[in-house]
Amino acid sequence: NAGVTQTPKFQVLKTGQSMTLQCAQDMNHNSMYWYRQDPGMGLRLIYYSASEGTTDKGEVPNGYNVSRLNKREFSLRLESAAPSQTSVYFCASSEMAVYNSPLHFGNGTRLTVT
């Protein structure tokens, strides 16, 4: 099993450009999440989807949008990239609400905005 797959692995954008980060999981998990990780800071939740058809804001949602395309796929969109969005982005999934189950992470997308 592949687990959680993120594409692309690396991306360089110019300020103002848009892009979509893709995430797919093959574990039949209900919940999916997008985090960003910056040096010296913990992972911060951007958006999550507790179940197919629902999405909610996390700690740092500004500048991002998400789509839960189906049970397997959860995408993150940057409409107008800014240098402050330079980060490593991780997608994760869990079987059910986080209280009862661990997160399974992908290996990240390293995004640089110039």
Q: Of the ranges 18-26, 69-77, 78-86, 106-114, which one interacts with another protein (CB under 8 A)?
A: 106-114
Rg of the chain, C-alpha, whole Å: 13
Half-sphere exposure of 38 (CA within 13 A, CB side): 11
Closer residue to another protein (CB): 42 or 53: 42
For position 60 contacting another protein by CB under 8 A, the verdict is no
Cβ closer to another protein: 19 or 98?
Answer: 98
> Residues interacting with another protein, by CB under 8 A?
4, 31, 35, 40-45, 48, 50, 56, 58-59, 90, 92, 97-99, 102-108
